[in-house]
Amino acid sequence: MTEILVLTEKIELLEERAAEMQYAFDTLRDSLNQLEAKLAEIEDAVCRLDMDVDERVTDVQRSAEYDIDELRNSLDDLSRRVEAMDDFLTVVDERDAEEDGRIGFEIHGLEERIAALEQDRA
């Protein structure tokens, strides 16, 4: 009979340990499931962040390309204006030479009048 009691106690102890192990296993499984869910959230956030960064880089690149195009257009326009002004000054120099410097004298007089007017305004 004592053997039966001893065996019964061992069985009860083994059942308690099995229940504890099952609880620990279930707890670990729940923790693993929570970690997997968190990992999925992190992966999703990283994916969205990558897409956002890619989108922003693309936007910046497009903006830079637009700005570069605008600068090129402005530079081309400025170059055309400089060429036109150079052509104009060449014509003025030729006319001035034909009229013995009278145009240059008139331009100098206009510059003096403009300077005087600017001083009066100040």
Amino acid (one-letter) located at 54: D
pLDDT at 93: 80
What pLDDT does 109 receive?
A: 78
38 to each of 34, 50, 51, how far by Cα in Å? 6, 18, 20
Residue 44 has pLDDT above 80, yes or no: yes
DSSP 33: H
Nearest residue to 107 (alpha-carbon basis) of 93, 87, 121, 86: 93
**CA distance linking residue 25 with residue 19, whole number of Å:** 10
Measured at the CA of 73, the angle between CA 71 and CA 75, to 5 degrees, comes to 65
* 80-112 per-position pLDDT tens digit: 999 999 898 888 888 877 777 777 767 777 888
Residue 106 has what pLDDT? Answer: 76
pTM: 0.47
| Sign, CA torsion 80/83/85/88 | negative
